[in-house]
Structure 1
Amino acid sequence: MSPPRAASYLGTLLRRGAPAMAGVTGGLDDLEVADPAPAAPLRRMRRIAGPVEPAAPDNLLLRATRYVAMVPLAYRILAVTGALVAFLADGHGGVAPVVAVAACLIAWNVFGLTWLFRSAPFHDRAAGRLLVLDVLATIAANLVVGAAVPQPAFAAAMQVPGKHLLGAVALLTLALGAGYGLALMLLGVPLAGLAWLLNTGVFNVKQAVAGLPTMIGVLVTATGALILLGLGTRLALAYGIRHGREAERARQHRMLHDTVLQTLETIALPGTGSSEHQLSEIRRLARAQAIEVRQAIEGADGSGALGEKLAALAAEMARDGLRAQLVMAELDADTLSEVRQIAIRDAAREALRNTLKHSGTDRVVVRAEDRDGGVAVIIRDHGTGFDAADRPPGFGISQSITARLAEAGGQAQVESSPGGGTRVTLWMPR
């Protein structure tokens, strides 16, 4: 027995409407949707619209998809108001029922917008009930106008509930799928005929189908908007997953470079003293490294102010033999967010370890100060230095320092010259 065929994302979107976008994240990483290689537009669209493995709906996406209803609701408020103004301007009779119907429809749509913007959790059943009530209100508005408006003014008066019907076709298409919008469009034909029957006593077939081309246009437009919105959302999700994984890999690489790799390199350096002393040092480094890796895994990055983080970092480097003189300006605890403080601390750690390994000196000055609307941390040593033109930045500078700060919105600058030492400036905006 062959395995069941995966559902098409495009088919699922057309059958279920915008809420289908909340359940298509499963298996998205296995597709070539976000392949950065150049591809023909139609080929890429086929990839996006291709098979998908529906997952449990994502609650955040599900809440976001409800906002597609804003467009048809806002359209109906404007269109019904415009139709009412045009009807009143023509000086027709039967004003009272038309005004009453228009006022009720406008109030109903305003309520719909208010419901969309409420902070309460989204519930499918509540949304389904409101859509049923919306269809019933649309039907009732057409029938009331047909029964209550004088015959000479009937054709002009029908523009008011007619605009609401057009918006309802678009609303159902976006919220539930193209099938529901098609069903309401077809229902609009006998509904218009019934309104004419109530007003004139004759079921006017010609007038019943007169509005069909306009409703078809609305249905096609809403379906096209649904497709474009769905495909664009899926492409954005695919790119987000791809870039998120790349960022996570880069973060893991930096963590390994800044922790395990640094410790292994320190252990590999020629030792001094007796074998027992060297073994004790290795054990100390191993214990310290185990604590640091565990903190990285568990996300225990510390929550003190920037000054406290830099002081702890200076103490950490002192255990490895680098004496860091810390010079701090008056910085408030809330000067930088926690994420940016951690980015500066980790970038500073990499700069200090570079000093320890490559500068040929065991002294360094770390200064923190206000600068250009942000906070700058300057690491300065008077070691051997290097020529930036002859030595391109390695992983530690490009990833552990520059990229780490860039992710948090900051900048890093490395200045050095042979025999003149090195200055690393880390800057982060407030």
Structure 2
Amino acid sequence: MTRGSKFLLALLRRGAPVLASTPRELPAEVGDPEPVPALRRMGAMAASEASPPSDPLMIRATRYAVLLPLACRLVGLPLTWLWLVLGNGVPWWLTVVAWAGTVFTAGSAVWVLRVPDLRGRWTRLLLWVDLVFGVALGLWCGLWIPLVYLAGTVALWTMCRGVLTGLALAALGSVLLGLGAGDVTGIVGLLLVVVTAAVGSLVLLGLATRLALAIGMRLGQEAERARTERTLHDTVLQTLEAIALTEGGEAELARVRQAARVQAHELRRALNSSSAPDGLAAELATLATEMAREGLRAELAISDIGDDQLSEARRIAVRDAAREALRNTMKHAGTRDVVVRMEERDGGVVVITRDHGVGYDEDERPPGFGMSESMKARLAEVGGWCRVESRPGRGTRVTMWVPR
């Protein structure tokens, strides 16, 4: 089997479980945001790897593929029964069978939506029960009601177990129903149409899943790249700029070394952030201590608001934004004193840094003072916002808010 046919052939051979495969990478054409010819993009998706499924969410999501044939049968059975009733009427037992099949189909759809079943054991049992019920209908219950039910069964097995299984069940259904109806050709044609529709749905679903994976991988890589750039900006770049501003002497050299050690520790923690969070208040206290080593006196005003309920992503976003605000105070404010306040506001947590330095005209921002955009982007990623207010001679206030 060639690399270029793995995903599509595996999908046709094994059905919906292949949708859960999560490759480490996909061809560039799949997630390319630039216009790409449709056939070329679909060919790249079909040519991608069908690696073994590993993500529990993807495994569970593939079970939703059965909802389409279940929904079709859920509508088809009552309509067929109503058509027969309005025509020549139906015996009571066939009415019971039709509505029993409808209830079973509805229960199956609800079960798929509500029960995780990551190992697929109960899903396999459900498929076999459905098949046995359909075969029983084909043997003893006439033509139309069993035909509609078996059409749903063929579609279910085609999507869950692949094309060969669907064709085998279509042949079985044709034999069962043809024995009583005498019109095998028409039944075979109808069930082949069902198999074709199921295969088409499966292929479209597979290609759409691959496209969504490619877009998600590309956006994830871009987000990770932006996060890394911000981490470097908040640590290494800021320290290098501080070093460039210092004068010579043993005392300054010792301070630079200490700052380098602190930033190395912060960078290491950012790249390997597996430790349990201490809460935003503790993070701000650590940040104030870190900045004190570099000569900034930060006065903390922390309210007791249970900030440990913040998610790690929001806590880190606020901490890094506050660090950037404090570093910009050191570089541009002309003062070494700043107040850092944390309190509850509007259902979230707000952190405010306030200095009484030289300030600046917001229409004429100093060179290198790009914190507004980077901080806004950082906090917006976690559902928050940032506002920078400054006036010449009146200092600068930076307000950072995130939801709980």
**Interval containing the TM-score (normalised by the shorter chain):** 0.7 to 0.9
Q: Based on CA coordinates, which of the two structures has the bigger radius of gyration?
A: 1
Where does structure 1 differ by over 6 angstroms across 4 or more consecutive aligned residues?
none
Q: Work out whether 1:337 is the aligned partner of 2:311.
A: yes
Secondary structure at the residue paired with 2:213? Answer: helix
404 and 125 in structure 1: CA distance in 2 versus 1, 3 angstrom threshold? same
Q: Work out whether 1:16 is the aligned partner of 2:1.
A: no
C-alpha distance in 2, partners of 1:38/1:140?
52
Secondary structure at the residue paired with 2:224? Answer: helix
**Residue correspondence of structure 1 range 96-115 to structure 2 within 5 A:** 96=93, 98-102=94-98, 104-106=100-102, 108-110=104-106, 112-113=108-109, 115=111
Secondary structure at the residue paired with 1:56? Answer: coil
Contact preservation (8 Å) 2:158, 2:195? yes
The residue number in structure 1 matching 2:132 is 136
RMSD: 2.9
**Residue correspondence of structure 1 range 25-424 to structure 2 within 5 A:** 25-28=23-26, 30-49=27-46, 51-60=47-56, 61-88=58-85, 92=89, 94-96=91-93, 98-102=94-98, 104-106=100-102, 108-110=104-106, 112-113=108-109, 115-117=111-113, 119=115, 121-123=117-119, 127-128=123-124, 130-146=126-142, 158-196=143-181, 204=182, 207-271=183-247, 274-275=249-250, 277-300=251-274, 303-333=277-307, 336-391=310-365, 397=371, 400-424=374-398
Secondary structure at the residue paired with 2:29? Answer: coil
C-alpha distance in 1, partners of 2:28/2:223?
19
What letter corresponds to residue 192 of structure 1 in structure 2? L
C-alpha distance in 2, partners of 1:191/1:185?
10
Secondary structure at the residue paired with 1:309? Answer: helix
Secondary structure at the residue paired with 1:32? Answer: helix
C-alpha distance in 1, partners of 2:388/2:381?
17
Moved more, 350-359 or 329-338: 329-338
C-alpha distance in 1, partners of 2:369/2:54?
37
C-alpha distance in 2, partners of 1:107/1:424?
60
Contact preservation (8 Å) 2:384, 2:401? yes
Query: TM-score normalised to the size of structure 2?
Result: 0.87
C-alpha deviation, 1:320, in angstroms: 1.4
Instruction: State the aligned residue count.
Output: 403
C-alpha distance in 2, partners of 1:350/1:253?
13
302 and 349 in structure 1: CA distance in 2 versus 1, 3 angstrom threshold? farther
75 and 383 in structure 1: CA distance in 2 versus 1, 3 angstrom threshold? same
C-alpha distance in 1, partners of 2:211/2:367?
34
What letter corresponds to residue 142 of structure 1 in structure 2? G
Percent pairwise identity: 47
255 and 93 in structure 1: CA distance in 2 versus 1, 3 angstrom threshold? closer
Contact preservation (8 Å) 1:26, 1:52? no
Moved more, 180-189 or 51-60: 180-189
Secondary structure at the residue paired with 2:386? Answer: strand
82 and 74 in structure 1: CA distance in 2 versus 1, 3 angstrom threshold? same
C-alpha deviation, 1:35, in angstroms: 0.8
C-alpha distance in 2, partners of 1:321/1:248?
32
C-alpha deviation, 1:411, in angstroms: 0.9
Residue by residue over 1:31-83, the C-alpha shift from the partner in whole angstroms, topping out at 9 and shown as x without a partner, is: 3211111223343333333x122212124212210121123224334433443
C-alpha deviation, 1:346, in angstroms: 1.3
Secondary structure at the residue paired with 1:423? Answer: strand
Contact preservation (8 Å) 1:257, 1:396? no
9 and 191 in structure 1: CA distance in 2 versus 1, 3 angstrom threshold? same
The residue number in structure 2 matching 1:150 is none
C-alpha distance in 1, partners of 2:19/2:400?
42
C-alpha deviation, 1:236, in angstroms: 0.7
What letter corresponds to residue 149 of structure 2 in structure 1? H
Residue by residue over 1:267-298, the C-alpha shift from the partner in whole angstroms, topping out at 9 and shown as x without a partner, is: 333336x52x3443233223323322232232
C-alpha distance in 2, partners of 1:107/1:89?
21
Contact preservation (8 Å) 2:60, 2:116? no
C-alpha distance in 1, partners of 2:90/2:116?
44
C-alpha deviation, 1:427, in angstroms: 1.8
C-alpha distance in 2, partners of 1:76/1:412?
52
The residue number in structure 2 matching 1:200 is none
C-alpha deviation, 1:233, in angstroms: 0.9
C-alpha distance in 2, partners of 1:414/1:177?
58
Moved more, 58-67 or 380-389: 380-389
Query: TM-score normalised to the size of structure 1?
Result: 0.83
C-alpha distance in 1, partners of 2:55/2:246?
56
